[in-house]
Structure formats: C-alpha cells, structure tokens
Amino acid sequence: MRVRYRIPIIFFSQERAFFFARRFRSPAARLAGSMPNLKRDLMEAGMVNLSPTDFVSVAMFISLFLFVLLVVLFGLIGFVAFNKGILNLQTVYIFLLTAVLVPLFYFIYFIEYPKLEGGRRRAQIETQLIFATRELMVKLRSGVPIFNALLDVALGDYGLVSSEFKLAVEEIESGISQETALDNLSKRVPSQSFKRMVDIMLNAMRSGSDLAATLDTINDMLVKKQQSDMQAYAGELTPLSMGYMLIAVVVPSLGMSVFLILGSMARLNVSLVIYIIPPMLIVFEVLFIGLVKSRRPAVGV
C-alpha cells in the first residue's frame, strides 16, 4: 500500500509500517468503530485514501514496537546495573512505568495527529483563501469558463488552496462532474470558511445565479470575518497580557519577598522554593507563548 501523505513518526518506511500492521486490523477495526470522527479527521488532514482501520492498526503496531524496544533497552541497562550492584527496586519501577507510559502517550498522539494536522492545514488555507477567491471572481467576470478559472487557481501560488483545487481539477479531467468534484472538495478541506465558500458556489451553479457576483459577496464575507477575528484576538490579548504580568512579574518578585519574610519569621527552609521558582517560570513562559500562538487567527488580509 503506497501512501503520499504525512503521518507521525513511525520508525519505518510507510509501506513497511502498513505491511506489519496488517496483523492488528481486527482489534483496530473495533477501536476505530468507537471513533466516529476519525474518518473525517483523516480526510481533513489530507489522508483521503487512508481508512480509520489502517490508521489505528499502524498506531497499535508502532506503540507495541516502541514498548518492546524500551523493554529491551531498559532490560540491558538493568542487567548492567545489576552486575555492578547499583540496581534498586525504585529504578525497576521507573523503567517499567516509562516503558508503559511512553508507548501509551505515543499512541494517543498518533490518534490525535489528524486533528493537529487538520488545524495546521486550516491555518494555511485561510491565509490564502481570500486571494484565491479574488482570482476566481476576476477570471469569471472576464468571461473565463469555470473550469479554466479553477485550473488557474490550481496552478497559482496559493499554497494548500491551490493543491486542493488541483485535486478537484484532476477529478473533473477524469470524468467527474464539476459539482461532484467541488462537493468532494468541500468535504475534504478542514476550513469552515472554505467549505462555506464552495457550498455557496455549488448553490449558485445549481440555481444558475451569477457566480462572479456570488464570489464577490463571498470575498467580502471572508474579509469581514477575518477582520472580526483580528479584533476579537486583539481583545483577548489585553486580559492575557495582564495575567502574564501578574504571574510572571508580580508574583515572583513581590510574592517571593513576602514568602522570604514570612519564612524567616516562621523559621522555614525557603531554599527549596528558590530553586523551584525559575523552572516553573520557564514552563509558564513556554505555555503562555503556546497559548497566544494557538489563539492567533489565520488571516490573509
């Protein structure tokens, strides 16, 4: 089975991973049945031809492989440590816990990966969607047929938007009707704005409306939506910045001073707290940057 899409780290080539994972198809099918949104997530992540059963079977195989690899590795380390007399029961528990938790977290990450990839693709699509819509509108207003307009966008420099239109053009060239190809496009993309644009185009084509005027309306709608998203994001930054100043600046300075005074009065050992605060601040900084980045809207205006 040859695949072209991106999947998480699998330690093997994709072909070998799918080959070895065939033995897990039966339990994977039952587990995939409990994930009704997985097929949609795979499609929106660009894994159009990958079935949920195949995806889950690869996740199970790689997780098991990682578990065996860690058991062998920790077994060798434990054997050497035992011969040198430095192995204790606590270390054995840590090895066993690590050998179980690492594959488990990897399996969860693997299963959640289509959602993460879909979010990444959504951001890339929405940054270029307005410009692609404008080109479609200009082409149609100049008298270019809809297929040629789609082809021009597919050959344009609009990132994933061009890639998705290129797939639609290939489907049309293979004999599929334009409406069916656009309908497949709407189901395949993770962006709700893109889906809405394609659905409105389909309704205009089926009703015989002026498609160029419809695209003009869609373009105005997309611009207003992105402007609204930017305003909402700007409004969110104010409380976030205040929270950042409070936690990262005020608490470590004034809070630490108050704690030292109270600790000295109560004769408490405050040295441990002094060493704990810097790593906690670093973790907070990383989490805060990730939060701000995740809240930032994908805009192209």
**For the chain, domain boundaries:** 14-119, 124-222, 234-295
| Conformational region of residue 159, where left means phi above 0, alpha means psi within -120 to 50, and beta covers everything else | left
At 81-119, the pLDDT tens digits run: 878 777 777 778 888 888 899 999 999 989 988 888 888
Residue 159 CB contacts under 8 Å (≥ 6 apart), including other chains: 124, 125, 127, 128
In order of 161, 171, 180, 292, the CA distances from 174 in angstroms are 20, 5, 12, 44
Query: Cα 30 to the chain's mean position, in Å?
Result: 25
* Torsion 241-247-248-254 (CA) sign: positive
Q: State residue 270's pLDDT score.
A: 62
Which residue reads 């344009």 in tokens? 156
Average pLDDT of span 45-69:
88
Summary mean pLDDT of the chain: 82
pLDDT of residue 273: 63
CA–CA separation, 286 and 220 (whole Å): 37
Provide the whole-model pTM.
Answer: 0.70
Of residues 240 and 270, more confidently modeled: 240
Quickly state the pLDDT bin for 1 (edges 50, 70, 90): very low
Question: 211-245 and 89-141 are packed helices; what angle lies between their axes, rounded to 10 degrees?
Answer: 140
pLDDT above 90 for 67: yes
Based on its alpha-carbon atoms, the radius of gyration of the chain, rounded to whole angstroms, reads: 27
CATH 1.20.81 fits 124-222, yes or no: yes
Could you read off the pLDDT of 218-266 as tens digits, one per residue?
Answer: 888 888 887 787 788 778 778 878 887 877 777 777 767 776 777 667 6
208-217: pLDDT as tens digits: 778 888 888 8
Residue type, 299: V
Structure-token pair, residue 272: 């441990």
| Sequence-distant (≥ 6) Cβ neighbours of residue 274 within 8 angstroms | 256
Paired tokens of 233: 């994001």
| Choice among 1-5, 47-51, 216-220, 248-252 with the minimum mean pLDDT | 1-5
In the prediction, which pLDDT does 239 show?
83
Query: Amino acid letter at 256?
Result: M
Q: What is the C-alpha to C-alpha distance for residues 135 and 229, in angstroms, rounded to an integer?
A: 23
pLDDT score, position 21: 86
24: which DSSP letter?
G
pLDDT computed for residue 269 by the predictor: 61
